[in-house]
Structure formats: C-alpha cells, structure tokens
Amino acid sequence: MRARAALASAIGAAAALLLLLPGGCAGAMYKVGDLDAWGVPPPSKPDVYKRWAKSIHFALGDSVWFLYPPSQDSVLQVTPQAFAACDISAPLLRIADGNSVFNLTAPGRAYYTSGAPGHCRKGQKLWVDVPMANGTYVQPSSADLAALAPTPGSQAEAPAPEGALSDAAAHASPAAALRADRSAVVSAAALSLLALLIRLIW
C-alpha cells in the first residue's frame, strides 16, 4: 500500500514537472513575491515585488500568479500611466478571486497593482518585462520610461530612464541562455523522477 502511494505521488510529481517543460503550450507559472500572500510589502522589505520581478527571466507564454485573501485584496493590470499615478479607476484587467493568474501574452512591460484603495501607494505594485518569442527584449516605450521616472511628491521609487534602458539591455543577452538552463534543470528533474518510478516498479 505504501509503495503504491509513493508510486502515485511520484507519478504526480513527474507529470507536474513535465507540464512545466518549456515548449509545451503552457508556459511557466510564477507565484508573485516572496511573501505569504500578495499584500502591502512589510516595512522590512519595501521593494520586495521589484526585487522579485527582477530575479526572474520571464518568457512569452509564462504567467504570474497572485495568491491572497479575496476579501482583502485584488489584482489589476494597468497602463504605465495608471501604474505611475496609482490610478486604480480604469484597469485593463481586474481579477479578485484570491487565486489570480495573469498570462504574459504580449512582449513588453506588463504592469500590475493591488486594487485595494491605498495599497499601490504603499508599494504593492510590480512590473515585469516580457521578451519576444525569440528572447529579445522590447525597448521600453516612452510611456514605460515616463512611468518609471521619479515624479516629485510621488512615493514610487523608480530608476531613472537611463537605468531602465540599461536594465533592458542587460536583460537582453543572457535571456536565451537562462531559458535554456531552466529547461535543462526541469528536464533533469523529470528524468530523475522517471528513474525513481522505474526503480519502484521493478
């Protein structure tokens, strides 16, 4: 009985890993932030979402996943202008179910903020850069540059336009390599699980 349960969970894990393999129709799904939930950043980690977004090399077709108590929060995808102004009145897309997946279907920069009043100004917002299918990053548009330029009196901590440009340039070259790495790591993990399965069966 125990062996069968182990076998079943190994099969489940292998299947889950195979689903994550790049090249399939579904991209990788990333849980947003390093916090327990999508919420206002704690004082000890004011830039948690910015750091998190920078730590990941997204690919076209990946998705970002926000988990939070639906009674307390929501997620909005917004324009660069709305992001800069923390204007939550006319989002491009709003999901409030507590388990919200946004698909990265367009190359360029995607902007998200909390839909709870006041949370955006407290730093509960992030943007992610999505490269083209061939891994090349899109140059930030003038709206992107304007959105991240520091504005007097704004709480948004933002890099200067030149910083944003060089960030994009720095991202550009290693993207393909990193993507290949990720694929190799996932494939290796799937293979070792399959090896485990075969051993269990024998």
The CB-of-102 to ligand NAG minimum distance in angstroms stands at 6
Task: Rank residues 60 and 149 by Cβ distance to ligand NAG and give the closer one.
Answer: 60
Residue labelled with tokens 């990946």: 62
The CB-of-137 to ligand NAG minimum distance in angstroms stands at 10
Task: Rank residues 101 and 170 by Cβ distance to ligand NAG and give the closer one.
Answer: 101
Please say whether the beta carbons of 60 and 105 come within 8 A: yes
Q: Which residues bind ligand NAG (CB under 6 A)?
A: 101-103, 132, 134, 136
Residue labelled with tokens 């279907």: 105
Which whole-number Å values give the CA distances from 140 to 87, 132, 162, 168, 198, in the listed order? 21, 13, 11, 8, 49
The phi and psi torsions of 14 (rounded to 5 degrees) equal -65, -40
Which whole-number Å values give the CA distances from 59 to 12, 50, 113, in the listed order? 25, 17, 21
Please say whether the beta carbons of 153 and 79 come within 8 A: no
The CB-of-61 to ligand NAG minimum distance in angstroms stands at 9
Task: Rank residues 136 and 183 by Cβ distance to ligand NAG and give the closer one.
Answer: 136
Task: Rank residues 52 and 66 by Cβ distance to ligand NAG and give the closer one.
Answer: 66
The CB-of-198 to ligand NAG minimum distance in angstroms stands at 32
